[in-house]
Amino acid sequence: MYRKLKRLLMAAIMTAATGDLYAEQFAYIVSFTNKNNTPYSLSSPGLYLSARALTRRTTQGIAIDSTDLPVNQTYIDTVLSLTGGKLHGASRWLNMCVVLLTDSAQIHNIEDKPWVGGTQFIAYFEGILHRPAPTGTTPNLLGNKTTWAAAEYGNTWVQTAMVKGNPLHDDGYTGNGKLIAVMDGGFTNADTHAGFAAMWANNRMVDQHNFTYNSDFVFGYDGHGTLALSTMAGYVPGTFIGSAPNASYALYVTEHGPTEQPIELANMLFASERADSIGADVISTSLGYNLFDNPAFDFVFNTDFDGKTTIAAKAANMATKKGILFVATAGNEGGGGWNKVLTPGDADSALTIGSVDYMGYSATNSGYGPNAAGRVKPDVCGMGQAAAVFIGLGYGNSNGTSFSTPQIAGWAACLWQAFPSATPFQIRESIIRCASRYTAPTTQQGYGIPDFWCSERMVLSVDSHVQRYQRNSWVTVSPNPFTNNISLTIAADTDETVHVSLCDALGRVVASYYDTLTRGYNTMNRNLPALPVGVYFLKVASAGKQQTVKLLHQ
């Protein structure tokens, strides 16, 4: 079972709050049958969705529908009145709310209401859940941009080079203009670590909320989320550069450290909806669930992990329908009793991330797929073994899919910046199609390790036919100028054979060979014979097309 670090600080806070120490609360989902008499309408979405969220819908051609309408407030108010409960959260997507009751018997007071579709017990707390939050600090940090040479990445170079992410940065795609929502257990030091200086100085921290304790304080409880955030937002030239250092971020606490209960999945749903409403492009979560403190809540893999059943999986799928790329951890249950992926990593539409080491070998504890419906999971893998992260106020390494996941989320945001009119499906598919094991996925690595240099040159339409942007071509050659070798990347619509020939300026063939390609992007490295300095022409021909690339040898 995937266990997050339990929050010792939170336990101390709860013990100190002696006024509520002996109280108890019961959490229930209350589902509604309709949204009748709502004061909101589909014709005025600006009343419940931000301008940024509406722009995302317009760009992707996504219509506003009934799932966007807020829950009927009259229903919620009646539930609270009849049960004496406190509202924990509400979901417009699933048309339900979660209430906290000090007397569980009071839930029966609403069961005969015609607009109540059902109730479900999802958590028990020995103390009162919602408490006053600590006061956050105001960061006073500075940061400046430099070049993107390999030395600039410092600690993060290995994990960056593994997925060929640095070409995205070289081309100016650093996440600028993209908004990433991060769901985790806490973000201790995210408001004080110098590595986040540029993010704060440039006002790219746009939203924070703690869905567990119903407050806007997130900079405590634990540092798991800070480690995950650092792999994306960290920026210390020469020491540490994250995958999306110029993106904007929203931080959401959804995990309840002292316990493991299904209410945390409801928190993920609430956070996903808030991310949607503020216009987030990407959601990244390093949390995953399968078993709980109360075994009665435990999931059964074959029935619950089919990609669409758990609340968390539903949140991931709905977020995708709303135009958000949902990136989820595969979990760290590999080799254990569970061994499989966790939810929401099982979700059909989630881009689910496993973990490998610096050599590309699977981390032993990286969760296995497929999901219960047979879908390949994880989708791809990043470097989660000895991943470079922020530790305390300094730097270090940590292990797990918790840290490979946000890396890929950040690179996906940079890729999306390059193709702003793309859909989450197109971004996800371009990552999968360029991954190292695309033609032969495995249970622990899925489609393998991404190649974002390849993905930048590709986007897939919904019917899975390769489409290329006009600024890109069928064949890409680097370096140019070249010396002793060249690297070719060729996009193939089908499995095929190509003839590659290199000619000098007089048309004489100086090198010739055949390559067998598989559908997708293929990268080949070739050592060339000793050649005089000058201009050369590389010709690539298949049965249906050909292209010539002018090269300079120096």
Q: What pLDDT was estimated at residue 468?
A: 36
pLDDT in tens, 177-220: 999 999 999 999 999 999 999 999 999 999 999 999 999 999 99
In three-state secondary structure terms, 81 is helix
Tokens 């598989």 correspond to: 518
H or E stretch including 410? helix 401-418
Contact 412, 163 (CB under 8 A): no
381/378 Cα distance (integer angstroms): 7
For the beta sheet containing 475-478, the strands, ordered from the edge strand earlier in sequence to the opposite edge, are 475-478, 485-492, 520-527
The residue ranking higher by pLDDT, 214 or 11, is: 214
Tokens found for residue 505: 């300026």
Contact 510, 503 (CB under 8 A): yes
Q: Cβ–Cβ contacts within 10 Å for residue 258, how many?
A: 17
Number of alpha carbons in the 13 Å side-chain half-sphere of residue 276:
30
Q: What pLDDT was estimated at residue 13?
A: 33
Q: Which domains does the chain have, with CATH numbers?
A: 8-125 (3.30.70.80), 159-467 (3.40.50.200), 475-553 (2.60.40.2550)
- CA end-to-end distance (rounded Å), the chain: 57
Q: Is the pLDDT of residue 354 over 60?
A: yes
pLDDT in tens, 375-403: 999 999 999 999 999 999 999 999 999 99
Contact 116, 32 (CB under 8 A): yes
Nearest to 475 by CA among 415, 549, 553: 549
Contact 210, 218 (CB under 8 A): yes
Nearest to 429 by CA among 472, 380, 383: 380
383/400 Cα distance (integer angstroms): 9
Pairing of strands 459-460, 496-504: unpaired
Rg, the chain, Cα only? 25
pLDDT in tens, 106-154: 999 999 999 999 999 999 998 878 866 565 544 433 333 344 567 889 9
Size of the chain in residues: 554
Q: What pLDDT was estimated at residue 103?
A: 95
Q: Is the pLDDT of residue 18 over 80?
A: no
Question: How big, in percent rounded to 5, are the helix, strand and coil portions of the chain?
Answer: 25, 25, 45
φ/ψ of 338, rounded to 5, equals -80, -55
Question: Which letter does DSSP use for residue 482 in this model?
Answer: B
Ranges of H-type helices in 299-354: 301-304, 311-321
φ/ψ of 318, rounded to 5, equals -70, -40
pLDDT in tens, 238-285: 999 999 999 999 999 999 999 999 999 999 999 999 999 999 999 999
How high does pLDDT run on average in the chain?
88
239/226 Cα distance (integer angstroms): 17
Cis peptide before 139 (omega within 30 of 0): no
Q: What pLDDT was estimated at residue 489?
A: 79
H or E stretch including 274? helix 263-278
Nearest to 378 by CA among 313, 443, 284: 443
pLDDT in tens, 292-338: 999 999 999 999 999 999 999 999 999 999 999 999 999 999 999 99
Task: Identify each DSSP E strand in 268-412 by its residue range.
Answer: 282-285, 325-329, 351-356, 380-383, 387-391, 394-398
pLDDT in tens, 36-53: 988 999 999 999 999 999
Q: What pLDDT was estimated at residue 14?
A: 36
For the chain, percent of residues with pLDDT exceeding 90: 70
